[in-house]
Amino acid sequence: MDYKQLKNEFQTPFYIYNFDFIKKRFLSLKEAFKARKSQIFYALKANSNLSLLQMLVKLDSGFDCVSIGEIRRALKAGAKPYKIIFSGVGKTKEELKLALEYDILYINLESEAEMILLESVAKKLNLKARISIRVNPNVDAKTHPYISTGLNENKFGVETQIARKMYLYAKNSAFLEPVGVHFHIGSQLLELSPIYEAAGIVAKLVRELKALQIELKFFDIGGGLGVAYEKTDTEPKLYEYAQGILKHLNGLDLTIGMEPGRYLVAKSGEFVCSVLYEKTNKDKRFIIVDGAMNDFIRPSLYEAYHEIILPYNKGEESECDVVGGICESGDFFARKRFLPKSKGGDIMVIKNAGAYGFSMSSNYNSRNRACELALEEGQIRLIRQRESFEEQIALEEKFLKA
Q: Which residues sit at the interface with ligand LLP, rule CB under 6 A? A: 43, 45-46, 64, 87, 147, 184, 187-188, 222-225, 259-263, 298, 302, 356
Using CA atoms, how far apart are residues 373 and 385, in angstroms rounded to an integer? 9
Which residue from 29, 39, 59 is spatially nearest to 242, judged by alpha carbons?
Answer: 29
The span from the first CA to the last CA of the chain, in angstroms, equals 50
- Amino acid identity, position 212: L
Among all residues, whose Cβ is closest to ligand LLP?
Answer: 223
Question: 19 vs 86, which CB is nearer to ligand LLP?
Answer: 86
Residues 53, 58, 60, CA angle at the centre, nearest 5°? 95
Write down the least CB distance from residue 209 to ligand LLP, Å. Answer: 21
Using CA atoms, how far apart are residues 39 and 258, in angstroms rounded to an integer? 6
Sign of CA dihedral 360, 366, 368, 370: negative
The total of other beta-carbon atoms located within 10 Å of residue 20's CB is 15
- The single residue of 65, 273, 320, 327 carrying the catalytic annotation is 327
Write down the least CB distance from residue 401 to ligand LLP, Å. Answer: 39
Question: 122 vs 135, which CB is nearer to ligand LLP?
Answer: 135
Are the C-beta atoms of 328 and 301 separated by less than 8 Å?
no
Write down the least CB distance from residue 146 to ligand LLP, Å. Answer: 7
Question: 43 vs 347, which CB is nearer to ligand LLP?
Answer: 43
Using CA atoms, how far apart are residues 255 and 274, in angstroms rounded to an integer? 47
Write down the least CB distance from residue 143 to ligand LLP, Å. Answer: 9
Which residues lie across from 16 on neighbouring strands?
270, 373
Is 371 a catalytic site residue?
no
Length of the chain: 402
Using CA atoms, how far apart are residues 220 and 132, in angstroms rounded to an integer? 9
Question: 274 vs 300, which CB is nearer to ligand LLP?
Answer: 300
* Strand, helix or coil for residue 194: helix
Question: 132 vs 274, which CB is nearer to ligand LLP?
Answer: 132
Write down the least CB distance from residue 95 to ligand LLP, Å. Answer: 15
The residues carrying an active-site annotation are: 327
